[in-house]
Structure 1
Amino acid sequence: MLQLKNSVVADFDASNWRELGALTNKLDEVEGHDRLLRSLSWKDPDYEGLALTFIRKMIGSNDENLSLVQDYISKKCKISGEDISSEQSDSKKVIFSPSIFNVPSDPVDSNLVSVMMPFSTNLSPVYSSIQLAATNAGLTCTRADDIWDHSTVIQDIFSLIFRSFIVVCDFTGKNPNVFYEAGIAHTLGKHVIPITQVEQDVPFDLQHHRYIKYLNNTEGVGVLKSALESRFLTLSQKRNPKWL
Structure 2
Amino acid sequence: MKFPEPLVEGRLIRRYKRFLADVRLPDGSEVTAHCPNTGSMLGCQPEDARVWLSRSDNPKRKLQYTWELVETSPGQLACVNTARPNSQAREAVLAGTIVELAGYPECRAEVKYGAEKSRIDLLLSGHDTAADAWVEVKNVTLAEDGQGFFPDAVTERGQKHLRELMAQVQQGDRAVLLFVVNHTGIQTVRPADHIDRKYGELLREACDAGVEVIAYRADLSESDGTPTGVLTLTESVPVILEV
Same fold (TM over 0.5): no
TM-score when normalising by structure 2: 0.30
Q: What's the TM-score once normalised by structure 1's chain length?
A: 0.30
Quick check: which one's helix share is greater?
1
- Look at both structures and tell me which one has the larger radius of gyration over its CA atoms: 1
